[in-house]
A and B are shown apart, each in its own frame.
Chain A
Amino acid sequence: MTTTAPEAAALEAVFDAAVAADERIEPRDWMPDDYRATLVRQIAQHAHSEIIGMQPEANWITRAPSLRRKAILMAKVQDEAGHGLYLYSAAETLGIGREELLDKLHAGRQRYSSIFNYPTLTWADVGAIGWLVDGAAITNQVPLCRCSYGPYARAMVRICKEESFHQRQGYELLLALSRGTEAQHAMAQDAVNRWWWPSLMMFGPPDDESAHSAQSMAWKIKRHSNDELRQRFVDICVPQAESLGLTLPDPDLVWNESRGHHDFGAIDWAEFHEVLRGNGPCNDQRINQRRRAHEEGAWVREAAAAYAAKHGEERA
């Protein structure tokens, strides 16, 4: 199929008008190649983050200190697998298969969120992840519910509801520790100290260094800049930390009356780039566990395919 130049211009005009009018782009609509590629990259990275993100929390399922907390954590990790499934489905509407996306993840050719390269060293980390990591994710993701690409926006509506629930549970976990014994309080503070800065890095590089931001905002994939969202997150967290009875590890954090926002200290961008380059504390461990699960499960998937081929309709 060939498209003449005037036809292409007309299609692009229809697309631009739809985006300008805040209409949703749907899978069968024409879209610019770069728009499709940007969405594939972003949705895949998002899906991969859900899948890799199961690991740091699953690390504590077998050691959860009460049966109630264990049930909450299992349900959360299960939800994350479900979110991964929604997001791979959304990516598939753009013409790329889940298998191919997983292969790219395993080959290190697609990314996942830098945050999951940090280790969960104590039980309180489960709470810090819920409060801070899920909190940052929600701040990032709520605007995506209005993203111009329909399947992605609809996936985000479902995901944000569940994430908000996890975030409250994480907060409540930390609150129990903060108000618990001295050792529990110290455990909670230590976890917040370790997760605060990596959580701020989840919003991505500063605006003047963000490669994809301008185009994504023009296409209404993104609605706010990295720095705007990061500021919003800091402003939300400060009073929450106070009511938790915990401090945030930033001596420069202070309310700025004239801006109506909190000023905060400099992020260690060198660390951020090292983690992105694969040199974070757990990059190798995370990707190796994913590869191992995939490789060790190959015979199971092959068996399911062979059975389906033999039995056709009986496929369960």
Chain B
Amino acid sequence: MTAVPVQAALALGDDALVLSHRLGEWAGHAPALEEDVALANIALDLLGQARALLSLAGDEDELAYLREERAFRNAQLVEQPNGDFAHTIARQLYFSAYQELLYGQLSAADGPFAPLAAKAVKEVAYHRDHAEHWMLRLGDGTPESHERMQRALTALWRYTGELFEPVEGVGVDWDVLREHWLKTVTDVVDRATLTLPTGPQTGAWAAGAGRQGIHTEPFGRMLAEMQHLHRSHPGASW
């Protein structure tokens, strides 16, 4: 087995960890019981991926609970607050479509992430499918849901470019990934009678900021909540 590139494991693991946490915030708040089940299910899959990836890089709990904001390597997209259900679905479609293609490539290659990717690609295909169906229902549902879905797609668009900034140690063809992602997302957005945003895919910051530990403001508070108990009892086991 090839040696694991630690920074790459952290980038992919942090993506899954942080998005799982955001989805966990939905528990008991979803618009229907079926969605409480589905969102928790997706959160659990992602948490499983995060644990496997972080364990490749070191001790999962030390990495999750004792790093500060500047040391996290997740893309800024996954740390964005849940917003309304449309925001959550837009974030999930953008990210799941990316993860499905990424894991697809990783599982086909012979790298250190291949075994994990081979298992996870089935999970993320389900996540993408779930987000896709909700995008269709919300986009092509009522005028209100259409407007909310469009607003969410537009608001999160500027965080999508970062997903395709090459991560050192992740052996995929990033240009092919971006091309396929754009095709998948465009197709879903079209079928949902929505419009793909036309603005830039990155903000004023250089693309790849999250991968360098530059995050958005809500992320610090998210970490404060996530890490508080663990940090209050140094050295304890749970």
Q: Among the interface residues A81, A173, A184, which one has the most CB atoms of the partner chain B within 10 A?
A: A81
- Inter-subunit contact A297/B32 (CB<8 Å): yes
Closest to B40 in A: A78
Q: Which stretch from B22-30, B109-117, B182-190 is at the chain A interface?
A: B22-30
A55 to B25, CA, bound (A): 11
Residues from chain A with Cβ under 8 Å of B233 in the complex? 65, 181, 183-184
Is A67 in contact with chain B by the CB < 8 A criterion? yes
Interface residues of B in 201-230 (CB under 8 A from A): 225-226, 228-230
Is B47 in contact with chain A by the CB < 8 A criterion? yes
- Inter-subunit contact B33/A51 (CB<8 Å): yes
- Inter-subunit contact B24/A65 (CB<8 Å): no
Residues from chain A with Cβ under 8 Å of B34 in the complex? 85
- A69-B238, A81-B36 in contact; A300/B225 too (CB < 8 A)? no
Residues from chain B with Cβ under 8 Å of A51 in the complex? 33
Closest to A181 in B: B236
Is A71 in contact with chain B by the CB < 8 A criterion? yes
Say how far B93's CB is from chain A's closest CB, in angstroms.
14
A264 to B3, CA, bound (A): 61
Contact with B along A83-122 (1 / 0, CB 8 A): 0110010000000000000000000000000000000000
- Inter-subunit contact B30/A306 (CB<8 Å): no
Q: Is the interface of B mostly helix, strand, loop or mixed?
A: helix
Residues from chain A with Cβ under 8 Å of B48 in the complex? 71
A288 to B82, CA, bound (A): 20
Q: Which stretch from B69-77, B140-148, B153-161, B164-172 is at the chain A interface?
A: B140-148
A181 to B133, CA, bound (A): 48
Interface residues of A in 50-84 (CB under 8 A from B): 51, 54-55, 58, 61-71, 74-75, 77-78, 81-82, 84
Contact with B along A200-216 (1 / 0, CB 8 A): 00000000000000000
Is A197 in contact with chain B by the CB < 8 A criterion? no
A220 to B61, CA, bound (A): 50
A310 to B25, CA, bound (A): 32
**How many positions in chain A have a CB within 8 Å of any CB in the partner chain?**
52
A55 to B30, CA, bound (A): 12
A69 to B50, CA, bound (A): 14
Closest to A66 in B: B238
Is A296 in contact with chain B by the CB < 8 A criterion? yes
Contact with B along A43-55 (1 / 0, CB 8 A): 0000000010011
- A78-B40, A299-B144 in contact; A63/B64 too (CB < 8 A)? no
**How many positions in chain B have a CB within 8 Å of any CB in the partner chain?**
50
A34 to B85, CA, bound (A): 41
- A78-B37, A78-B41, A301-B32 in contact; A307/B27 too (CB < 8 A)? no
Q: Among the interface residues A64, A65, A85, A293, which one has the most CB atoms of the partner chain B within 10 A?
A: A65
Is A21 in contact with chain B by the CB < 8 A criterion? no
Residues from chain A with Cβ under 8 Å of B145 in the complex? 299-300, 302-303, 306
- Inter-subunit contact B40/A316 (CB<8 Å): no
Is B128 in contact with chain A by the CB < 8 A criterion? no
Interface residues of A in 255-305 (CB under 8 A from B): 289, 292-294, 296-305
- A55-B28, A316-B137 in contact; A71/B33 too (CB < 8 A)? no
Residues from chain A with Cβ under 8 Å of B137 in the complex? 303-304, 307-308, 316
Is B31 in contact with chain A by the CB < 8 A criterion? yes
A65 to B65, CA, bound (A): 8
Is B118 in contact with chain A by the CB < 8 A criterion? no
Is A123 in contact with chain B by the CB < 8 A criterion? yes
The 10 sampled A-B contact pairs (Cβ below 8 Å) are: A61-B24, A62-B21, A66-B230, A66-B237, A74-B24, A181-B233, A184-B236, A296-B31, A300-B35, A300-B85
13 A-B pairs besides A51-B33, A62-B225, A66-B230 with CB distance below 8 A are A55-B28, A63-B225, A64-B229, A71-B47, A74-B44, A75-B44, A77-B40, A78-B40, A81-B40, A85-B37, A177-B238, A297-B32, A301-B32
Closest 7 CB pairs of A and B: A297-B31, A303-B141, A303-B145, A78-B40, A300-B31, A58-B27, A316-B133
